[in-house]
Amino acid sequence: MIFNYTFGLQKINTENIKVNRREAVRGIILYNDKILMVHSNKGDYKFPGGGVNIRESHEEALAREIREETGYIMDEVVNKIGMVIQRNVDKYETDYIFEMTSHYYLCKVTDRQVSQQLDDYEKELDFCPMWINIDKAISSNEEILRNGEDINSWVYRETKVLKALRDWYGERSNVTDQNRGK
């Protein structure tokens, strides 16, 4: 794996604390020196992805989430390249910790694009798929982290992952051209 981060509470004793866990998948799709991100009306960029449903494989969840948030059809999961665990005091349940584990996968999509199928909160945030240069996505997210008051919860996580990808891909050539089907 390229990265493996833990944010928030580093270690917890699960004997004394109740934990609400959520598993999520996030697609990393690169083509012609650009990355497919989801842009919100707050100006930030996030990877397409979301929660894994009960009895749903990571691959099935990736295909569904990429299609819903971007309209692109996933062609292939190439490999898992990272993981982020976030642990915080649960906002909704007293005496609970909320732990979200996000699995990041390098994916390929087809050229075919269908209509987005956004959840209500995604519609409110005006989710829009965009092919963007990694440095521009990082710069936009960093600006929001510096100046924003109403920041989407994923901005710090996604910025950290974007930086890890930039560093890793900076060492390779022609990798980005291989991740979008024709």
Using the predicted structure, report yes or no on whether residue 175 has a pLDDT greater than 70. Answer: no
pTM: 0.90
Confidence of residue 133 (pLDDT cuts 50, 70, 90): very high
The pLDDT assigned to 178 comes to 45
Contacts of 24 (CB under 8 A, 6+ apart): 49, 50, 51, 52, 100, 101, 102, 103
Q: Which of 8-22, 94-108, 128-142 has the lowest mean pLDDT?
A: 8-22
